Structure 1
Amino acid sequence: MESKDYLKDISEIKNMMHKSSRFISLSGLSGILAGLYALIGAAIAYVLVTDYSYGVLKLDGYIFRLCLFTLFMVALLSVLTGIFLTTRKAKKHGAKIWDATSKRLVFNFLIPLVVGGLYILIILSQGKYGQSGGLMLIFYGLALINASKYSIGDIRYLGYIQIILGLIGSWKPGYGFWLWVLGFGIMHIVYGTWMHFKYDVKK
């Protein structure tokens, strides 16, 4: 009897240490909505380029700026939705939303993302559009893997998929747009759905 209690105590201590070192309040629903935002944004960009630029984007063009604005709005909505749903989930479970662990999570997530964003802006300023979609996927995947050490470890699998899609997009630039749709849109929905039923839905 004492042996069972001892093992139970060890298990509880281990679980507490795991929770204290990882931010586990990420919402699966936010991943689903981020994917939907990405699909809507991609559809808008596709219509803009196809109908008004005849498939050709120019860095100083009005349509290009509209596409960048659309991309910015997709990212902004995804971040705001993620913050809102994650905060709500954390409060529901009595967890802190902004502590040392969540700070490490954000910091490690932003390092590859900011570096990647700056690099993409540099190559766009040089007129090299073909690699941008693949590079977005690669750096986003690296950001997810880097942040997974301080969150739900499962997000690293989404990171691996994004990197693979990004490498394919860099190898075949002509498919960059559709791979971007697959990575940021469809895979987010698939991942978010899986995470929602695995962690958010009560068994």
Structure 2
Amino acid sequence: MESKDYLKDISEIKDLMNKSSRFISLSGLSGILAGVYSLIGAAVAYWLVIEYSYGTLLLDGKIFRLVMLDLFLVAFLSAITGIILTTRKAKKSGANIWDTSSRRLVINFLIPLVVGGIYILIILNQQKYGQTGALMLLFYGLALVNASKYSIGDIRYLGFIQIILGLICAWFPGYGFWLWVLGFGIMHIIYGTWMHFKYDVKK
């Protein structure tokens, strides 16, 4: 009997240590909505390119700027939605939304993402935009893997998938648009749904 109590105490201590060092209030629903935003944004970008530029995306053209604005809006809406839903979840569970673990999560997520974003802007300025989709997937995947040690470990699997899709995209750049849709759209919806039922829905 004492042995069982001892093991239970160890398990509880381990859980408390894990919660104190990891930010576990990420919302699965925010992942689903991020995927939906990505699919809508991709549909708008596809329509712009096909309808107005006959399938050719000019770097210095109006269509290109509209596509960049479209991507920015997708990223902005995804970030805002994630912040709102994660804050709501943290408040419900009584967790602190901005503590040491959440700061570590944000910093480790942003480092690869910001570096990747700057690099992508540099090569776009050099009119080398054939690998943009691959680079977005790769740096986003690296950001997820880098941040996973300070949050729910399951997000690293999404990161690995994004990295693999990015490598495939680099090898087959002609399919970049559809691999981007798969990575940022469909995989986010699948991942978000899985996380929602695993962590958000009370059993």
TM-score higher than 0.5 here?
A: yes
- 2:45 aligns with 45
1:2 CA displacement: 2.2
Partner SS state of residue 195, structure 1:
helix
1:3 CA displacement: 2.1
- 2:93 aligns with 93
CA distance in 1, matches of 2:161, 2:51: 31
CA distance in 1, matches of 2:94, 2:47: 45
Which AA in structure 2 matches 1:138?
Answer: L
- The within-5 A match list for 1:40-79 is 40-79=40-79
Partner SS state of residue 30, structure 1:
helix
Where does structure 2 lack aligned partners over 5 or more consecutive residues? none
Is 1:188 aligned with 2:167? no
CA distance in 2, matches of 1:127, 1:172: 19
Aligned identity (percent) is 81
Count of equivalent residues: 203
CA distance in 1, matches of 2:9, 2:180: 47
- The within-5 A match list for 1:101-116 is 101-116=101-116
Deviation above 3 Å: which 4+ runs of structure 1? none
Q: What is the root-mean-square deviation in Å for CA atoms of aligned residues?
A: 0.6
CA distance in 2, matches of 1:14, 1:186: 35
CA distance in 1, matches of 2:198, 2:24: 12
1:59 CA displacement: 1.7
- TM-score between the two structures when normalised by the length of structure 1: 0.99
1:170 CA displacement: 0.8
- TM-score between the two structures when normalised by the length of structure 2: 0.99
- 1:171 aligns with 171
Where does structure 1 lack aligned partners over 5 or more consecutive residues? none
